[in-house]
Amino acid sequence: MLMLRLLRSKIYFALFLVSLVLIIGVLGYRLIADFSWTEALYMTIITVSTVGFREVRPLSTEEQLFTVVLITASIFIFAFAISVVTEYILSRNSLQTLKRKKVKQQIDRLEKHVIVCGYGRNGAQAAARLKAYKQPFVVIEKDRDIIEKHEEEILFVEGDANEDEVLLLAGVERARYLIVTLPDDAANLFVVLSARQLNQKLFIISRASQITSQKKLQLAGADKVIMPDKIGGDHMASLVVLPDLITFMDKLSLEGEHTTNLEEVQIEDFTNQLNCNTLRDLDLRKKTGCTIIGYVKPDGTYIINPEADMPLQPKSKVIVLGRPDQIRKLNEMFHIGTG
C-alpha cells in the first residue's frame, strides 16, 4: 500500500509537469509569436504531441528556438508520465495478485468455519456478530467495490455464490456453517442446493423473503430458514405489547462492558476438567457469577430454567447468562471458546 501511495504521488507530479508544459507553451506562443489564444493552444498541442501538422504561419528564429525547447521538454516529461502510469498499473495488478494469493492461503487453513454468502445488510450484520464472537468466517461477494471497502478486516472470495467453484474456494467442504443472505429467494435456493451437494454435514441457514419460499428452501437442504421482514414486524409489535421484556432481550445480544450476555457451552468443556454429574456440581454461579438458564439435551430438546439436580449428558449444552466480564471469566477458567 505504501508503494502504491508513492506511485500515486509520482502520478500527481507527472500530471503537474504535463500541465505546466502546456501552460508554458500556450503563454510562450502567445507572448513570443503574438498568436491568438486559440492559435497558441493549437501550436502547443501539435508541438508537444509531435504530430507534425502545419504551423499557423512560418516561425521566426526566436519562435523556432522556443519550439525546440518545448518539444525537448515535452518528450522527457511525457515519457516520465507514461512510465509512472505504467508502473502504477503493473504494481497495482501485482499487489492484487499477492492479496488474492494471501487470502487463498488463509482460507485454505480454515477448518469448521462459517461461510456467509452476500455482504448486503443481513450479510454484514451476520459478519459483524461472527467477528464479535471471534468465529472464523469467509464472505462470498461479487461486488468489487464492497470487497475493496472491507477487505482489510474480512476474508472475501470474489465471485457468485451460485457457482460451485466459488463455494469450493471458500472451503465449503471443510466448513461447518453456511449463511445464505442473498436478496433473491431463487438464488438462495440454488446456493442451498449446491452447498448441500458439496457438503452433506453442512449446517445451512438461509434468508427468505417470501413465505412460499420457506418450505422450498428446507426441502433443498436448509436447516434453518430466517425471514428478516417477518422477524422485524414481530419485533416491532412485541415492543408495543411487551416493551420492557423485549428491550431486556435486546440488551442480552448487545456487545459492551456494561451489558449482559448469553453463552452456550458444551458439557464436555466442563466434564473434561471437573468431576461433575449434575448442574449443581458445576456451581457456575459461585465460581464465575454466571447463571445457567437453559439446558439442551443431546437430541436437541430445550429445557428452560433447568433444575439443579438435572443429570449432565454427553453432547449436551448449557445456556449461560452473565455480564461480559463474567463470561470471560467462565471462558478463561475452563479454557473454552465462545459459541
The C-alpha angle 199, 200, 201, rounded to 5 degrees, equals 95
Q: Which of the residue ranges 50-59, 196-205, 224-233 has the most confident prediction, judged by mean pLDDT? A: 196-205
- pLDDT confidence of residue 95: 65
Do the beta carbons of residue 154 and residue 92 sit within 8 Å?
no
Tracing cell 459461585 back to the chain, one arrives at 286
Mean pLDDT of all residues in 11-35: 90
Mean pLDDT of all residues in 40-67: 85
Mean pLDDT of all residues in 303-313: 91
- pLDDT confidence of residue 230: 82
Cα separation of 175 and 137, whole Å?
9
pLDDT in tens, 222-268: 999 999 888 888 878 888 888 887 787 777 665 554 555 788 888 88
- pLDDT confidence of residue 3: 59
The pTM for the full model equals 0.61
Q: Other C-beta atoms within 10 Å of 208: how many? A: 23
Closest listed residue to residue 187, CA positions, set 120, 117, 127: 117
Return the bridge partners of 114, or none.
Answer: 137, 177
Residues 6+ apart with CB under 8 A from 285: 291, 292
Quick check: 94 pLDDT over 70? no
Closest listed residue to residue 278, CA positions, set 264, 288, 292, 289: 292
Q: Which of 5-9, 167-171, 267-271 has the lowest mean pLDDT?
A: 5-9
Cell readout for 263 is 453463552
Confidence of residue 339 (pLDDT cuts 50, 70, 90): very low
Region at 221 (left for phi over 0; alpha for psi -120 to 50; beta for the rest): left
- pLDDT confidence of residue 194: 95
Mean pLDDT of all residues in 187-191: 95
More confident residue, 74 or 262: 74
Cα separation of 190 and 118, whole Å?
14
Cα separation of 158 and 140, whole Å?
6
More confident residue, 163 or 327: 163
Q: Other C-beta atoms within 10 Å of 304: how many? A: 8
Q: Which of 36-50, 239-253, 274-288 has the lowest mean pLDDT?
A: 239-253
pLDDT in tens, 156-184: 999 999 999 999 999 999 999 999 999 99
Confidence of residue 53 (pLDDT cuts 50, 70, 90): confident
- pLDDT confidence of residue 289: 92
Cα separation of 85 and 233, whole Å?
53
Mean residue pLDDT of the chain comes to 87
- pLDDT confidence of residue 338: 47
